[in-house]
Amino acid sequence: MLEWLVALCILVVLVLFVWPGTRSAFGGECQRPGMSQRQEKDGTGKARAAVALICKPSALAKYLQKHCRTFSDYSPWAGWTWRASAVLQSAREACWPCESAVQFVRDNLQLSDDGLVSLDWAVPSYHRRRRTSSHSTSPVLLIVPNSFGRITRNVLKLCEMALAHGYLPAVFNRRSHNGTPLTTLKLQQFGDPSDLREAVRYIRYRQPAGRLYAVSESSGSGLLLSYLGECGSSSYMTAAVCLSPVFRCQSWFENDLCRPLQWVLALYQKISLSRYRTALGDIMHTDALFSSCSLRGVEEALFCQSGHTGSNSAAPAGTGNGSSISTSVGWDSYWERNEPLRDVDEVAIPVLSVCSRDDPVRGDAQSTIPLELFETNPHFFLLLTDRGGHCGFSAQSERKAASVAAPNSSAESDDTNWSHKVVLEFFRATTDFFNAEERAKQLAARRRGLGGGLGGRAFRHRSVSTCKRVPACSHNIHAIYSWQRSYTQ
């Protein structure tokens, strides 16, 4: 952990003083080709960054524009303050310690191949009950953190707000992430949704009466988008939100991420995997893994190269049973199976992406955000802000925006995350829209049954068929053990 903090300090210094993009870090506006800068005035008369909703015109889009006030109610910090810096916002949300009143109850789930993933259920610190009843109708919020396994301040704050609004937040941890034991010689590939699919089935088995929503953070959006594309209408989810997602992941691993940040993230991955170095030596070249200084090098060593130990060679990480022949997977072939947007046309639920033009992690908005996807696919919506950083979106509270701040006022109390409000309001609006559509269909069906067909005469005898609920199948998923724990930052 000490190496991680030192590397982070070095990263901040390098990015602020070396990276050319930092000329607009502190409140500056950078005009990009093809992007019109639009500003509006807040209550103090100061300029406020615009929020653009990019989507294909539809009934749901009109409903969201009418009922989601937070979509346009974004008041970012401006001027010479660290909260106006995209880099510092992003660094704070990623690794700054957070005093959280949330505790977690962990379920370790055994998968069909004997591997383990875990679900951390967020509960208030004063909550005496360790577990929520399976008869609860509260909605479940499944949170997919970044692909590196770190539980960030952004995730903790989202859990707090979700609990306050009646949700049951659950954080999904991949194999070997966040203290989850690695019990098999298999790691989860970047866009392989098989483990997440089994975790979702377990959630439906445990909470069959509550709606299921999903939120992903940063590079974790690749896993969520892959799951939604592969499962289609069988995803069991009502709606999903991606916070600062990475869309074109192969390009992001190759070119879009700056070199200092690549080095820091690669170092964090190697530290996390160092405890399994001996075991992983049977399936990969660990020397190449731990000597790599780039994200691409680490990813290739984990999933595109394989090692062997005599005649009992194991298959590459991410594959099935062992084999006596050592094989390798090409880099381009790997991304053909793991690119998040490979099955995007099969997504069947509303998906909102919240992005910022000054995101220092994702890269330039013009080349990294597929605007054509949002303009042509009715299931995808994009909120694009001028400022906000990477999962930052630090906003002034209404009290702060309405008056000039006093010198002795608490800065922490005036700092809110606008994207979290957007998440919950988007879920509420889409649910209300679907409920209204369902009521309209039922009313139209009753009118057709009572007044149509035989000269307007009503049917005297009508049989109504009901669907019998089939209990969800856990498919070899079961909780091994659970305990209550608090994250220490």
Residue numbers annotated as active site: 359, 390
74, 385 in Cβ contact below 8 A? yes
3-state secondary structure of 299: helix
98, 153 in Cβ contact below 8 A? yes
**The pair of three-digit structure tokens given for residue 441, joined into one six-digit string:** 């269909």
Spatial separation of the C-alpha atoms in residues 11 and 18, rounded to whole Å: 10
The residue count of the chain comes to: 489
3-state secondary structure of 484: strand
| Residues with Cβ within 8 Å of residue 66, at least 6 apart in sequence | none
**The pair of three-digit structure tokens given for residue 128, joined into one six-digit string:** 């005496």
The amino acid that residue 115 corresponds to is G
CB atoms within 10 A of CB 231: 20
Q: β-pairing, 140-144 with 212-217?
A: parallel
Burial class (CB in 10 A: 0-12, 13-18, 19+), 93: buried
Spatial separation of the C-alpha atoms in residues 34 and 30, rounded to whole Å: 12
3-state secondary structure of 3: helix
CB atoms within 10 A of CB 306: 22
| Residues with Cβ within 8 Å of residue 67, at least 6 apart in sequence | 429, 432
Could you tell me how far CA 102 lies from the centroid of its own chain? 19
Main-chain dihedrals φ then ψ at residue 102, nearest 5 degrees: -105, 135
H-helix or E-strand spanning residue 200: helix 194-206
